Amino acid sequence: MFGPRMLMGAVIGGALVYFLDPQNGARRRQQVREWWEQNREPVMDKATAAQNKVSETTSQIGEKVGEKVTELQSRVRKEPTPVT
Protein backbone atom coordinates (compact mmCIF):
# COMPACT_ATOMS: atom_id res chain seq x y z
CA MET A 1 0.00 0.00 0.00
CA PHE A 2 2.69 2.49 1.00
CA GLY A 3 5.37 2.20 -1.62
CA PRO A 4 8.59 4.13 -2.12
CA ARG A 5 6.84 6.83 -4.16
CA MET A 6 4.36 7.55 -1.39
CA LEU A 7 7.15 7.68 1.18
CA MET A 8 9.16 10.08 -1.01
CA GLY A 9 6.08 12.24 -1.50
CA ALA A 10 5.53 12.39 2.27
CA VAL A 11 9.16 13.36 2.88
CA ILE A 12 9.11 16.09 0.23
CA GLY A 13 5.75 17.38 1.42
CA GLY A 14 6.92 17.47 5.03
CA ALA A 15 10.09 19.35 4.07
CA LEU A 16 8.08 21.91 2.10
CA VAL A 17 5.70 22.49 4.99
CA TYR A 18 8.63 22.80 7.40
CA PHE A 19 10.64 25.28 5.32
CA LEU A 20 7.78 27.27 3.80
CA ASP A 21 5.93 27.78 7.08
CA PRO A 22 4.85 31.46 7.14
CA GLN A 23 5.78 31.93 10.81
CA ASN A 24 9.07 30.05 11.22
CA GLY A 25 10.10 29.10 7.68
CA ALA A 26 12.41 32.08 7.12
CA ARG A 27 14.30 31.39 10.36
CA ARG A 28 14.63 27.69 9.51
CA ARG A 29 15.89 28.42 6.00
CA GLN A 30 18.45 30.86 7.45
CA GLN A 31 19.63 28.22 9.93
CA VAL A 32 20.12 25.73 7.09
CA ARG A 33 22.04 28.34 5.05
CA GLU A 34 24.32 29.09 8.01
CA TRP A 35 24.89 25.40 8.70
CA TRP A 36 25.72 24.81 5.03
CA GLU A 37 28.22 27.69 4.96
CA GLN A 38 30.01 26.24 8.00
CA ASN A 39 29.96 22.62 6.84
CA ARG A 40 30.11 22.78 3.05
CA GLU A 41 33.75 21.72 2.66
CA PRO A 42 33.63 18.63 4.93
CA VAL A 43 30.33 17.51 3.39
CA MET A 44 31.64 17.94 -0.14
CA ASP A 45 34.91 16.16 0.74
CA LYS A 46 33.01 13.19 2.15
CA ALA A 47 30.67 13.13 -0.85
CA THR A 48 33.65 13.13 -3.22
CA ALA A 49 35.34 10.33 -1.25
CA ALA A 50 32.12 8.31 -1.33
CA GLN A 51 31.75 8.87 -5.07
CA ASN A 52 35.33 7.72 -5.66
CA LYS A 53 34.79 4.59 -3.54
CA VAL A 54 31.56 3.75 -5.37
CA SER A 55 33.27 4.22 -8.74
CA GLU A 56 36.19 2.02 -7.69
CA THR A 57 33.90 -0.72 -6.35
CA THR A 58 31.68 -0.58 -9.43
CA SER A 59 34.73 -0.91 -11.66
CA GLN A 60 35.98 -3.92 -9.69
CA ILE A 61 32.57 -5.59 -9.84
CA GLY A 62 32.38 -4.90 -13.58
CA GLU A 63 35.74 -6.56 -14.11
CA LYS A 64 34.67 -9.63 -12.11
CA VAL A 65 31.40 -9.89 -14.02
CA GLY A 66 33.31 -9.63 -17.30
CA GLU A 67 35.62 -12.43 -16.22
CA LYS A 68 32.69 -14.65 -15.24
CA VAL A 69 30.89 -13.96 -18.54
CA THR A 70 34.03 -14.88 -20.47
CA GLU A 71 34.43 -18.04 -18.39
CA LEU A 72 30.81 -19.08 -18.95
CA GLN A 73 31.03 -18.36 -22.69
CA SER A 74 34.06 -20.61 -22.99
CA ARG A 75 32.29 -23.38 -21.04
CA VAL A 76 29.22 -23.16 -23.27
CA ARG A 77 31.33 -23.29 -26.43
CA LYS A 78 33.28 -26.35 -25.19
CA GLU A 79 30.26 -28.48 -24.28
CA PRO A 80 29.60 -31.25 -26.80
CA THR A 81 26.40 -31.22 -28.80
CA PRO A 82 23.98 -33.89 -27.54
CA VAL A 83 23.36 -36.73 -30.01
CA THR A 84 19.69 -37.42 -30.67
* Structural domain of 49: 8-76
Task: Say what the pLDDT of residue 77 is.
Answer: 85
Q: Is the pTM above the cut of 0.75? A: no
For residue 84, being part of any structural domain is answered with no
User: What is the C-alpha separation between 21 and 17, in angstroms, rounded?
Assistant: 6
For residue 82, being part of any structural domain is answered with no
For residue 22, being part of any structural domain is answered with yes
For residue 83, being part of any structural domain is answered with no
For residue 2, being part of any structural domain is answered with no
User: What is the C-alpha separation between 69 and 76, in angstroms, rounded?
Assistant: 10
For residue 17, being part of any structural domain is answered with yes
Task: Say what the pLDDT of residue 78 is.
Answer: 80
Q: For the chain, what is the domain count?
A: 1
- Per-residue tens of pLDDT for the chain, all 84 residues: 679 999 999 999 999 999 999 999 999 999 999 999 999 999 999 999 999 999 999 999 999 999 999 999 998 888 666 666
